[in-house]
Every structure is written in structure tokens, then in C-alpha cells.
Structure 1
Amino acid sequence: MDTAMRIEVLPARLGDCLLVECVRGSGPPWRMLVDGGPPGTWPRLEKRLSRLEPDERHIDVTVVTHIDGDHIGGMLPFLRSEYAEDVGDYWFNGPPHLPSRDRVQGSVAEGLSLVAALLGDSAGPVLPWNRAFGGGPVDTGDESGFIEVPVPDGPRVTVLSPTHERLEVLDREWTEAIDQARRVWQGAVRPDIARPDILEPLGDLAAVAARKTADDTTAPNGSSIALLVEHRGARAVLGADAFGPVLGAALLGVAAHRGLPALEVDALKLPHHASRRNVTESLLEAAPARHYLVSTNGDTYHHPDDEALARVILTAPEGPTLWFNYRTQRTARWADPGLYERYGYCASFPDSPETGTVLELPATA
């Protein structure tokens, strides 16, 4: 069967760096790069991009989902590389797109290297920025809102997050958020999160899933650009670090628009590296999937959380597959044959820690 969509989750430590390709009938595939991981990810991303044929290196869209250092750090060297000028459009909400743009742009934009690169500075050319949105913000409006972006001879792309309210929150907290991102770029580790990883027995997944957890409230995560990509019958949700309730409401909005009770998808890249604060039952029920992608090595925040994966396994349709881009002590526990047999799922791991994981979705239309 022909492949419709290829999702490559590169090894990006605690962050995200995804390469998505949608196969066309002829010529090179439509290609989207989502985030660059933390600063140390760039050599791996550069090596991966160098494998593309010289005349097929065009990237249609590069998405910088939000300003956290584990998503944006590797984008800085990318923007200074030979690949930056061969991108059709960059999707990113920077100071010019926030509700009080005059105040924010005047105070921080000049010192923000990513935004400076996107605006065009002495170090490089002016790059296309949010052209698909008329140069304005990537903003779905109210909760349950979404934006469909037409792609000639390509996939159907739907923006699920962020809402206008989430951008307002980011606006108020921009300076603090970008300062935190800079500390990550500079290799700083907060002492409150540099702690040993304690692995608890999995056992009864219903009990694990039922543990009470607070929702994510961080401004950068809430501003994440999350997407639904559909092509030749294949359907994938790329959750970035978006809030579970925001993603779930948008997916239900899309489903209602299409006259469906829920939006069944082939793949769901779990938001916030499968954090229990973002992977909610309401999200999983809004978009039941066959494949669930996890992007993290767990070396800082100890993701994926057991509660999140337990919710996935118990909520998903029969026989889901968990796709990890790292095999670690934390993720390897989910390859237990006893758990497989009891709960009817399976797990997939990369062949090498240098390769990440690749999911190919077949064409059905």
C-alpha cells in the first residue's frame, strides 16, 4: 500500500523536532519541519536534512510552535543555515502578533534572536513569516475554534491551537517566558527539576490513570501551535505542548463541523512530551487514534508520565501502538509482555538512539 504521510520524530532530548512529509503523485513531497529541539539538536537535524536530494530540499512550512527553549533552541542555528532560505513559510507567534504588539515589540523584539532572524537583520535575509495568515497571528479565536489552511497540491492543514485567550496570557508573560527560554539556550538547568527519576510499578493501569493531576497553566505551552494534518486519507494531530482542553475542544469543533461525534485519527503526537498535565481523557476521547507518538528522553522532566500513557491505553481504540523516539528505563517499562497481553497494546522503539522514530501512514483515499 502506498504511503500517504511520513512522520519522523528526531531525537531531541527533552524537546520536539519533527519532519513531516506528505507524498504527492509526482515530484518531491510536501514537507513540514516542526520545531528544532533544544540547542544540541541542530547537528542531528542538519545531518538529517543533508540526506535530502539537493534539488528536493525545499521545506514548505517550518513551524516554531512556541518559545520554550526545548523547541526553539535548535531553530536558531537552522535559521542561520543554508536551509533557512529554502522554506516557503514560517509559522510562529512572536511579539508583532501579540495583542498589545506595540508595547511588546518595542521592549524585547530587538534582543530576541529568533524573531530578529524572522524579521530580517544584518545576519540574514528577510524570511516569509505567517504568510498563510496574512502576516498576522496564528490564532484560532475562541475555544473550539480552528483555522483551515489551504495547501494547493498538498495536505489539508487545520490549526487547533492557540486561542486568542492563550495569546493574551502569553502577551502578559512574554518577558518572563523569553528569559526562561534564553536560560535553556544557555544550558541552565533549574535546581527544582534536576532530581532523580523514581520509577513506580505500573500494575493496575486504571489506578494509575485515575490519579488526580493538575492541568498545565504555563503561558508558552498554552500558546503552542498545534495542527491537524490530513492527506490521502491519513490523518495526524501534532500536539506540540498545547493544553489538553484546548486541543480537545478544537478537535470536537472540527468533528462537529464535519457532522461527526469525534474525529478519529491515525496518529496523535501527544502534547508536552506525554505530560499528565496535558494528556487528558477529554482530549483522547475527542481524537481516538491508532498510533501515539512520544517525543522525549525524560532526562530533565522525567516524561512521559505514567498517568498520561495509562490514559492513552485505556481510552484508545483496540490495539493502539505507542511510538517512542528514545528507549529509556522509563519508556522500556511499557514494553512489558504482561501489560501487552492484559491491555492489548504494543510499543515501538527506534533501532538506534541517533535515529529517532518513523511512522508511515498508508494512503486510503
Structure 2
Amino acid sequence: MKLRMYPAGNGDAFLISASGANVLIDAGYAQTFDDYIARDLLDLVNRGEQLDLVIASHIDSDHISGLIRLLSLNGSISAPQIAPIRDIWHNSLRSLTTEHLTKMSDSDRDILNALCRRGHPSPVKAPGADFGEISARQGSSLASLIHEGGYRWNFNDGTASIATERTSVHSLPGGSVRVIGPTQERLDGFLKWWKRRLRQMGYTGAVGPGEVIDDAFELFCEHSPEATSPSSVSLSAGGHKSLGDVYESDPSMTNGSSITAIVELGGIRVLMLADAWAEDVVNALQVLKSQGCSMMFDAVKVSHHGSLRNTSPELLELIDAPVYFVSTNGVGHGHPDFEVLAAIVDRPADFSRTIFLNYATPASSRLRRHRSRSNTPFSVHENATDWITIGKS
């Protein structure tokens, strides 16, 4: 398997290729797509291949803005300008509710239009960085672009959700994608959260789906503030607290809605955790473990850019891998947290671990000087944005 973790600022963008199959999971910002992903997609098209699956893990600008750029440029499924796309997974408002939007009052429409006029949030910039516009069409949601392009969306028209109860194992050439999150219960909670926010703004009508409210939903979620990690003060201290001392669960409803999956291609298994809640991942994996599924993976993409709110001690007791990926430039929320990185490498193992990061951060620099408490060997690779080959562990 080959995997590329793109330089996506404080976001996520991964392309996984093996056995002639290609899976794109998130795409960072528009500039991430323009500067890096577009060329790789043209290369795979020249090889006679396609994007077999595009996953928008959840509605957050640092994950989906590059996908908005992709679909803005790609046009329709019948005449793709960049690359053919077989399937798209994206849980939009129309995927979460069967409630129908009929007549809308003027005041309700004004509220939704005001949300849409804000457009997409500006990218979080590192000092000296030059991120351009977030998308080719500032007012377009990913949902509207998928719909307009006629893409196969959540196996049909996007009116059903990607959830563990609906989607188990999706076959790909030479492998599969097994959905381990979110649950339908988590998505139902996400919808209730959206309804509460609308009511607080004075909205009185149905929640959708409909074109204006679909766009308003996505744009509102993109602007929702993220909780700050409770730690990171230990970076300036001589020692560091254990992950168990500082871990607090993530309260973000958008992160909790993340599509998480085990991607297995060519016999290689990669656990892709998006920004998921650790508790949800543990619950899903414990079920699979009881069914005989190994919790030793060939690689793990660490949840939420290495935030200590999304990797719990319980999760690290359950899973392991020789390779870990952490995607963030550290700007905005100070990810990754050193406590998470240290907890990964401090565990005893009879193999060496490699931590790949697409940027150098204070936490990764400190990790390079760290000695595993169990004396288990590990290596740290910063600025790892080229293709990485993953073998069977």
C-alpha cells in the first residue's frame, strides 16, 4: 500500500492507493488540492485508474475545503475534468433527516441566507504561509456540489447516512473499507444539536432538507468553534504528565460525527480515525475484537491531529501499529499534544514504531528528544509529505 499525507495546514488530506484502488479521505484546504492533490489525481487517471471512493469524514473546513475545490473543478460525473469518481461518502443534512422542508417564512429564509452569506471560514495561516481562497465557489456547500454533479452519494442520492448500522464493509478492487463510525445514535445527536442552534437563532420552520438549509447547515458547522485542549502547558516543563492525567473527552458534535474506517487494500490494514471521539472508536473496535478481528494494524492515522481529547489511554490499550500518522502544522489549536505522542511510544512492544508527521511542531521536536519509558525503539519523521509505502506488519 502507498499512502500520501498531504501538507494540509492544520487539516487532513490522505490518498491511499493499492491493487489499482484509490481512496481519498478529506482534502485539507483549496490550496492543498491545487498544489498537491490535483497532480496526483491526474497521474492516477493517466494510469487508467479512478477515485474509487472519496470520504468527507465530517463537516470541518480543514477537512472538506479541498473537496469543495475538487468538485468545483471536476464538474459532473458524466464528464469529469479532473478524475472519475465512483463513490462519495458525505453525511450532509439530507443524510441525517427525512423531515421535508415545504413552505418557508421570510424570517426563516433570512436566517438561513445570513448563515450562507458568511461563506466558508478563512484558513488558519501559519506565519509566512500563503493560503489562497478556500474554494472556487465561496457560497457552495459540498452537498450542493455533489448533488449538482450527479455523483453516487452514500450509495444513492445522499438521503441515507453513512453509519455503522447502515454500512458495514464496502468492497473495493483488492480490498475493502469497513465503517466503524459514526453510529446512527451519534448522527441523531448531531441533528438535534443543529436543531437547537437553529431555534436559538429564531428559526421556527422544518429543518430540511432543501438547498438553502443544506448550505446553511454545512457553513454553520464549519464556523463552529472548537474546544481548546486542556493541557499543553507541560511542553515548557522538564517532565510531562501522563495521558491518563490530562485526557478529557472531546465535546465537539461535528468531530463526533466523523466517518471512521478500516481501509484494507492489498492485505494492508490502516485505521483512519478522522477527528472521532475516542470512546466511540473503542466501542466499535471492541465489538470487532469480540468477533475475532485483530487490533494490530499496519498503520493508524491518529484522531484529531493528535489532540489529547481524542486519544484515550483505553484506546491505546486496545490498538497498536508499527506506523502512526499525525496531520497538522500545529497552528490554531497547538496540535499535536505531546502527551499523546509520548503515550504512543512509551508502550512496551516487540517491534519499533515510526511516527510520521507532515510538519515539524514543538511536540514532534520534543518527541525526537524523548526516550520511551519502556525502552521500545521508535523514530520520528517530520515533514513526511511524500508517498509512504506501508508493508504488512
* TM-score of the alignment, normalized to the shorter chain, above 0.5: yes
Q: Residues 181 and 133 of structure 1: is their aligned pair in 2 closer, same or farther, counting only changes over 3 Å?
A: closer
Shift in Å at residue 256 of structure 1?
Answer: 1.4
**Aligned 8 A contact 1:68 1:220 in 2:** yes
Secondary structure of the equivalent of 2:339?
A: helix
Q: Residues of 1 paired with 2:98 and 2:254: CA distance?
A: 16
Q: Residue deviations 1:226-271, cap 9 Å, x none?
A: 010123332110000111111111112112122x5x5111111001
Matches within 5 A, 1:185-264: 200-201=235-236, 204=239, 207-258=241-292, 263-264=295-296
8 Å Cα contact 2:278/2:312 also seen in 1: yes
Listed as ranges, the gaps of 5+ residues in structure 2 are 75-80, 117-138, 198-216
- Aligned in 2, Cα 1:57/1:336: closer, same or farther, shift over 3 Å? same
State how far apart, in whole Å, the 2-side matches of 1:85 and 1:358 are.
19
* Residue 90 (1) aligns with residue 106 (2): no
Question: TM-score normalised to the size of structure 1?
Answer: 0.80
* Residue of structure 2 in register with 1:12 after alignment: 8
- CA gap of 1:340–1:39, structure 2 versus 1, over 3 A, is farther
One-letter amino acid matched to 1:78: L
Provide the aligned C-alpha RMSD in A.
Answer: 3.2
Q: How does 1:285-364 map to 2 (within 5 A)?
A: 285-315=317-347, 317-318=349-350, 319-336=352-369, 338=371, 342-350=375-383, 356-362=385-391
1:41 aligns with 2:32: yes
Counterpart position of 1:128: 152
Does the CA-based 8 Å contact 2:303-2:310 persist in structure 1? Answer: yes
Cα distance in 1, alignment partners of residues 33 and 267 from structure 2: 32
Q: 1:340 to 1:316 in 2, by over 3 A?
A: closer
Matched position secondary structure for 2:323: strand
Report the structure number with the largest CA radius of gyration. 2
The one-letter code sitting in structure 2 at the alignment partner of 1:178 is E
Aligned counterpart, 2:305: 273
**Match in the other structure for 2:133:** none
Distance (Å, rounded) in 2 between the aligned partners of 1:240 and 1:216: 13
Contact residue 264 and residue 289 of structure 1 kept, 8 A: yes
Q: TM-score, length-normalised on structure 2?
A: 0.75
1-structure distance, mates of 2:259, 2:366: 31
Q: Which segment is superposed worse, 223-232 or 267-276?
A: 223-232
TM superposition shift of 1:342: 4.5
- Give the 3-state SS of the residue equivalent to 2:188 in structure 1: helix
2:145 corresponds in structure 1 to 117
AA paired with 2:23? M
Using the TM superposition, give the Cα deviation of residue 52 of structure 1 relative to its aligned residue in structure 2, in angstroms.
3.5
Going from structure 1 to structure 2, the CA distance change for 1:75 and 1:334 (only over 3 Å counts) comes to same
Aligned pair count reads: 332
Structure 2 residue 218 is matched with structure 1 residue 178: yes
How far 1:136 sits from its partner (Å)? 2.1
Query: What is the percentage of aligned positions where both structures have the same residue?
Result: 26
- SS of the residue corresponding to residue 362 of structure 1 reads coil
Contact 2:257 2:276 in 1 (8 A): yes
1: CA distance, partners of 2:285 / 2:144: 33
Distance 2:72 2:273 in 1: 27
- CA-CA distance at 1:154 after TM superposition: 2.2
In 2 relative to 1, CA 103–173 (structure 1 residues): closer, same or farther, beyond 3 Å? farther
Deviation at 1:182, TM superposition (A): 4.6
| Secondary structure, aligned partner of 2:289 | helix
What CA distance in whole angstroms lies between the structure 2 residues aligned with 1:236 and 1:133? 28
Aligned partner letter, 2:3:
I
